[in-house]
Chains A and B, each alone.
Chain A
């Protein structure tokens, strides 16, 4: 961990001093995968190509603004926070949600189609969660991150992540109940 921090600090200092794009590219190589995962966890499944565009925007933005990095936090925390905020803005601009009106749950439907409808209902309920809770759910259940990893990536306490996951599950249960889907 210390090596990672030292390496980031060293690379940031080298880039700020030299202004050489090659120095910045080394920072990109180290963090592009995590930035992409943060962005895709905000945008959700099926938005991978949009997430790539946002990831690219984030690095261009950071390239231009790195002088404003005040070193009060770790570089990675600052970078992932920018990625999260940018992805939230993009998602709000997209405003893409599954059509919940079309999702009905007919008790007489065959089991297989009930599973599909349930899956749609869960996806719809997920899309209605607050950004922080939905991101935590995606990082945990989709991308397989532990609570500690999510906390480190998003720059919050582990207890906060646990609370987000707990509240998200509770909201999903209520949302499913309101759709007539048994939790």
Chain B
């Protein structure tokens, strides 16, 4: 019954189509983006990376509860990097996360 309702609902709805100017507009936007965006994107990435490196260095410099050898600091950095990478992969939104978010939004 609901199936019939939905069929009726959409048989009168026009099929969506891209406007004729869409392709040329997108081409123009992409070419503009190509000339301006790439350098900006790379620059922004490196600024962010520098921010986190500087923040980690400042923290290590001012907050040092125990004296660490260079080897220990290097080991800590490697463990920290591994944990960060793992967390980034885990936090990436997969289908399950999305379904859960949908349920929470309802």
Using a CB–CB cutoff of 8 Å, the interface residues on chain A facing chain B are 19, 21, 24-25, 28-29, 32-33, 36-37, 40, 45, 48-49, 51-52, 55-56, 59-60, 63-64, 85, 92, 118-119, 122-123, 126, 130-132, 137-138, 141-143, 155-156, 169, 172-173, 176, 183
Contact, CB under 8 Å: A122 / B6: yes
Shortest Cβ gap from B85 to chain A (Å): 13
Q: Would A60 and B6 be within 8 Å (CB), given that A130-B103, A132-B99, A132-B102 are in contact?
A: no
Tell me if B13 counts as interface (CB < 8 A to partner A).
Answer: yes
Q: How many angstroms between the C-alpha atoms of A143 and B1 in the bound complex?
A: 20
B37 at the interface (CB under 8 A from A): yes
* Cross-chain pair count, CB within 8 angstroms: 98
Q: A119 with B26: in contact, given A36-B16, A130-B102, A172-B2 (CB under 8 Å)?
A: no
Interface string of B1-29 (1 = CB under 8 A from A): 11101111110010111110011011101
Give the dominant DSSP class at B's interface: helix
- Report yes or no: B16 in contact with A119, Cβ–Cβ below 8 A: no
Cα distance A116–B37 in the bound complex, in angstroms = 49
A122: chain B residues at CB < 8 Å are: 5-6, 9
User: Which bucket holds chain B's interface residue count?
Assistant: 35 or more
Q: Residue of B at shortest CB range from A129? A: B106
Contact A141 B6 (CB under 8 A): yes
Q: Are B5 and A52 in touch, CB under 8 angstroms?
A: no
Chain B residues close to A by CB (< 8 Å):
1-3, 5-10, 13, 15-19, 22-23, 25-27, 29-31, 33-34, 37-38, 41, 93, 95, 98-99, 102-103, 105-106
A64, B37: Cβ atoms closer than 8 Å? yes
**Distance in Å: Cβ of A42 to nearest Cβ of chain B:** 12
Given known contacts A28-B23, A130-B106, what 15 new A-B pairs fall within 8 Å (CB)? A21-B34, A29-B23, A32-B18, A32-B23, A48-B17, A55-B26, A60-B33, A60-B37, A64-B37, A64-B41, A123-B9, A132-B98, A132-B102, A138-B10, A173-B1
Give bound CA distance, A156 to B94, whole Å: 11
The docked-state distance in angstroms from the alpha carbon of A85 to that of B17 is 21
Which residues on the B side are within 8 Å of A130 (C-beta)?
102-103, 105-106
Chain B's closest residue to A137 (CB) is B6
B22 touches A32 (CB 8 A): yes
Please state if A141 and B9 are interface contacts (CB–CB under 8 Å).
Answer: yes
Known contacts: A24-B30, A63-B33, A85-B93. The answer to whether A142 contacts B2 by CB under 8 A is: no
